[in-house]
Structure 1
Amino acid sequence: MTVMARALAMFDDFVDLPTTERQQALAALRDQDPALHRELARLLVYADTSSGILDRGFVATPPQTPDALRARATQAGDCIGGFTLRSLLGRGGMGEVWLAERSHDGFRQRVALKLLHIGLTHPDLKRRFQQECRILAQLSHPRIAAFIDGGISADGRPWYAMAFVEGEPLNDYVARVQPDVRARVRLLLEASEALSHAQAQLIVHRDLKPSNILVDATGHAHLLDFGIAKLLDAEDPDEHETATGLRALSPAYAAPEQVFGQRIGTATDVYALGLVLFELLSGQLPHQRRGARLEVLADLVRSEQFPAPSALLRKQPGQLTATINGAIDHDLDIIALKATQSEPERRYPNAQSFTEDLQRWLDGRPIRAQADTATYRLRKFVGRHRLAVGSAMVTVLGLIVGLALALWQADAARQARAHAEASKQQAEQALTVTTEAEARTQRVKQFMMDTFIMNDPMQAPGDRPASLADAFDQAMVRIDSLTDDPKLQVDLWDDFGEIRAGQGRFADAAVLFDKSLAQARRIYPANHPVIAEGLVNRGVVESYAGNSRAAAPYIEEAVAILDVPGAKQDQDLSNALQALAGVREAEGRRADSLAIMGRVVALTKRMQPVNELDLGVALFNYATALHNASRIDEAEPIANEAITVTRRAMGDQAPNLILMLSLKALIDYRRGRLDDAVRTNEEKLAIARKNFPAAHPWTADALVDVGFDRVEAGDTTRGIADLDAAIAMYDELGSPLVLHPLRMRALATLWEFGPKAARPFLDRGAAICTEQAITHLQCDIIRANRAGVMAMLGDGEAALVEADLALAGLAERGASEQAEQAQGLEGRARALTALGRHAEAVATQQQALTVISKWYPEGHPERKRVQKNLERIKQAREAK
């Protein structure tokens, strides 16, 4: 990067600094890099008197000295394009804004005239200035200053005139007038409506902040300054900015995607609107970005977690608190928090939807953000006890849905009572069971309500928990004290265990399942369905931890309890059978797994009415079994049907889709549809992040796939960052599933930096497999890859031992003639090459090519890679 490009990239950081801090920073830069200091100081000539009205950051090399430029400075009374300049309104790094007048036939027109600085001839500046004119000319809204005229001045400077809005910046107006909350929301609503109009014209503002929202004398808001706006339908609109290293943003109001240099869209403006709403409601921004340098800003943004505006206000005693305290309700908090989510897909999609929710709040109607959240959470828990087949609770906020679950169970109990009363046969027994269930349901409901009361400042004692996470921990302690109702303890330990498992905290979940199962065995008959449910959950936790051998006895016992003639627990049996299919798959008994899943699909379709959520999961697991049995033609339509059914049942953001899209991407990749696989993995990651904002195995797994896609596409830096994030996430969870990202990180490192840098990742994976006695296919593949790296480092004998162990493990787990076996064969071929046994190496690599050719079509990158390695080994043999 040239000195000028570096200076351009640093301009945004320096221009917003107070004068004293800027001088200190420049002095430090002068000592570090005199040439960079000289160029940057020249660029800052015009920024000293910036008013905040202008956009910043688009500057260029002034070809003349500051003294020469000042000698030709524009003055009041100058005439430009028929307009007479009256007074300077503001000056920034790019140009000046003047109050100007034009008289014609007795009519006087006042405008704000924007004029590019003298001497700023950089092509990017002129292009940006012309784009700004085009953008303004497209807009026609009463709350947006209208474009009037434009052209080139006599001294060659571009200019344009827009309607003059006489008013004061939004924050200044609010500080002076002290309006109530509703009035503040109405002001932002007017600005948001104006932005909605711009976005409807495919225009993104990109620099929303209070200084760009003026309030006129009548108390109406106007949206200004589209200086760094983006045309969404422009072809490669950011090409020049990328090439020169320019970054257009106001740090205090920039969305994360702006800070990280990612794609900009309508949700970017929504983020800024949300921050302005925070400021209007609480008198402050919810972060500490002001004055931060760009390199520090990224770290700040990455770690930001915003409190609700009402909580922020309570920490700021003063006049503002006295003015609006208590007027910020839960819905308004939700609007602000939704608008400022770090991921664009979790925000309001555009200004229009944000505007609609503000209006609904003003009208006293339910906001959509709140309604969507409640519906989503209820829908999540109606499908309880599907831990075995892929459904999971989201976070500790699952406690909220635990209450919904209790209500749902009560409704189910009432329906069972009605059915029992209608049937004389076995009515007395059914009523007894139902009455007991209803009583226990009421206790579950009361337990959940007591948990929430602990977080209610109006009802809780003085030592109430600080958060729902703390309330969760206290609730589990309270379960231990419910000795008068052991059945309730069984239910609660089991439910809380599912929440922990849904968070990816499998070790914690196992402890709770053990307590629930032990209690159930004490109070229920040995063949009771409650025991079976606990056995399935306990077994699945072992499976998720990569230990299928430990999982098998739990699940086999559960199936033995449920799979008996005349039993009516079809759903429980389906869950247990699907867990058993997963164990059989991990054991390498793929034919058994496939037969079990075929039975599950038939069983699920037989249930009336058919539950589409259950059907989607069953179809997915069946398609997975078919795929693993190399029956791809049969697997693909069933996998697609699973996705369709699940979208219909739970929507496009359903967490179950994460696993289903993994299978779809795998099938696409295997068939050579590489671009489709990449898109599917990106969709999967977006859904995972939406459902699991904290560390979670499914998010980590999605990061692995997206990261490796990026590595294969040549975007190594971002890809490795994704893989490292996945490793860190699994480490936070204490999960042995870290094996997968460790292996992929090793491969990415091998391609980019060589075998010496790659080996530590494989060594760590092998150590985890040994120390934790993990019986999982991933351990065998790590061994195979490790053998190859050891051979490349010259340790042929150890590599051959490692490769043979890998192939033995793969055979034991039924992976012969599978794609995984090819990796074991390649590791062995490398070891033989290192030992000088070239003829054997060629034969082994040829065997690997034969295996891989059964899995991937002609021309596929995997076949090409194995073929290329075969040619290298042949060349080594010939060279000998």
Structure 2
Amino acid sequence: MRFPGGILDGPERELWRRADALFDRLLDEPEHTRQSRLLELTDDPALRERVRRLLAAHARSSGPLDQPPPGLPPPAAALAGQRLGRWRLEEEIGRGGMAVVYRARAEDGAEGQLAAVKVLTLGSLARDGRERFLREQQALLRLRHPYIAALYDAGVSADGTPWLAMQLVEGEPIDRWCARHRLDVPARVRLLLQVCEALDYSHRNLVVHRDIKPSNVLVDADGHVRVLDFGIARTLDGDEAATRTALHALTPEYAAPEQFTGMPPATAMDVYGAAALLYRLLTGLAPRQAAPAGEVIAPSKLLRQRAGERPDPAQRQAVARLRGDLDTILLKALAGTPEDRYPGIAAFAEDLRRWLQRRPIRAHPPSLRYRLRKFASRNRWQVAAGAVLLLLLAGGVAGTVWQMRKARAEAARANALAEESQAQLAYLESLLEMLAPGTEDTRHIDRTRVLAEATARARRELADRPQVLASVEMRLGLLAEELGEYGRAADLFDSALRRRRQLFGDESEATAEALAKSGSVRAYLSPRQPEEVLRRLEQALPVLARLAPHGQARVRALNALLAILAELDRYPQAEARLAEAMAVCDAPAAPEEACAALWANAGAFYQRTSRPKDALPHLERALETRRRLWGPEHADTLVVASRLGLVYAETGDPARGLALLEQVVQAQRRIYERPTRDALPALYMLSRLLAGSGEVERALALNSEYLDQLREVYGEDHPDSALGQTERGTLLFTEGRFAEAAAAYAEGVRIYRLVRSEAGTAIAEGNYADALREQGQAARALPLQYRSLEVLERVFGAGHPQVAARLGNVARTHAALGQHEQALRQYERTLEMYERHAREQQGGDRTAIAYVDAWRARSLLAVGRGEEAVATLRASVALLQDRPQPNPRLENEAFAFLVEAACRTGTGDCAALRAQARERLERPLPGIARLRLRQALAGGG
């Protein structure tokens, strides 16, 4: 096999291949032990001599390996300046036993894009190396995750040299990064959890890494990991024989025991590798370096042994952090047999998160004593407060009041009762926070019963103290709202409002707070009362602005008003209220919890108005605040994360968005035993992203689950049901099931009209018209589409992306009626709107532009402008294919149009394009993409 700079054949080639494998192992050894380790690994003098030459060259280099050893063909100098695929190679930036790595710049596609191009040398000499390499990299191209160094493309040069182009990562190996920043144990665990996220994502895409080690995990300047070198990774659907050929590349210190026996790839190998890496981060040694002969030493025990008889305080503290649960987690993950380890990387990561949160770990044998100890360790104050509150409830509030009256003279009684009231409210607050559905630990508490009993008891025992009772009802109302008990919440808020009006009148902060909450909860009743929501909030806000301008109640009221105004399509009013609320939250000493909810709602508002880049900073700010306040898997944190996942997808990172939403839905399933409004958005958004990635059947199943849960939470005919039905229509449309899509859209129109959402009605009606057109009813569809277009122009403004989308569909209907000149004029207007929006968004996603241009090309073809049509379609297909995660529906539809146009105009590649179309039809595709491809092939040519 030929390589840059020379040829190696026969026994010499095999000898260098074996030397390369040993060299790669020795690079992870401390430098002073490499020679002795080499003597252990082989007794072949010729092999040792070549490994020593590789090690000597490595030692002389200014980088990982700068010059090849004497006698080895030099691959580096010959390639600088050359082109591989679309990449022009620049300077060499690294070299290892199997490859040379160059900085490279793209000359096609995303011009100027930088990459690290890895040119395989000796490693590709393995049996069937080139073919196996190509099969593997095609599978790995689908991995797109924020913690994985992306693989852009791969190939084989004209002289047979395999290469791959990866994301260029500026970072430092994870162990060095931890040491340089002197991270404590929890910080190192949190960093390892990023690695687990990446591996969990790759496993869900059926790819196992199998070589997790410090040099394959870099940390960038922002503290984010990038997992590199899936070069020996295997797909779980690959064949076992091919797997064994890559065995030479594993790193012994971090490889699972079964890898040495040539077992097929399995996720348990990466569980072991991730645990071995964490072991290294916590102890400074890999497990096999700590105990070369056999059983893994518990990390805390290893630290004690290395610290000696007189450990310093830092060493003692590290041992204490590792002892117990963290020892247990690592020993389970590093078990000698796969069945004794965690069932997957997600389970390993979950136990690490539980350790960080001082919650019971799954690896620990279950016992009531252990669980109580863990609960008390993370909730010391709450446990103490709860104990006192239980005593208060057992004795009765009235008994406590009687004792206070008896113990104090009349002159001091008022102050004492005030102090007592505050104490009771503080204790109640602590108990209710523990009862709120925030984490998996509180999943099985019967909150509805507790809430009902607490309400009855408060009203019975505090009847003669209306001020205290009103405050208790407000807090119970907030809890009922969190639990989805909206009728009970409205009753509690209304009762508190009546008491406060009688006590303080309308011009008081306390009354205005109760009025605002009694208003905002009416958005969730069945039937809903949107106008009453507006009326009560508009009454409460002037009072709150005067008496508590920077208070939590004002921010909550503004947030609720923003939501209802946006839902009613009153966008200018909503934006004005948003600006008012933002001014409060940007001021010093702003109420952090209420502002986190506002930032989340601001993100939802900007997303609703097709400004995802404006939404992004608000959602990230909300997520960071909630993670800090409540932890990453609290229910309120997950609500923001779900919204952020969709925005990531809308701003050009669909893989990151999809991975985040998958995590959110899994966590919410653990927390909630029954449907709740907080879990509904994640189901809806995950369904949308799955459809965009081509998993339409799973998207439809989630959509059905979403609609069922909506009915259980809100009853029939809620606005979100209209949204869900409209999305269902789009999923069915994507599958080419146009009659079913029309029925779903019609149901969306019905509900939107019922709840008086003008914009929602217009969008759903326009989509219904699209489904009619695809069923051959273009003449019936056209007036509906013009009515939809008129409404959307009035609501959003003439140049809005929603208007552009509708105008493009109007053009398609004119084309379906044979009115291509009119269709072309409308396509041009549509493209102008999208181009303007992309400029305003500073280089926004151009997918919609390419897709509209593909449809425009069909009309160009129809009016005799064939060459222009073909050129336009080639550009559209290239742009749609060049996305980080191409949309399979849009890309294949555009390709089908290209086949049709190329064959009708007689281009030279008609036959090749038709062959590609037939090959595409053998893949899993959305139904409408299959339909377009079949139509193109049926067109002849």
TM-score, length-scaled by structure 1: 0.48
TM-score, length-scaled by structure 2: 0.45
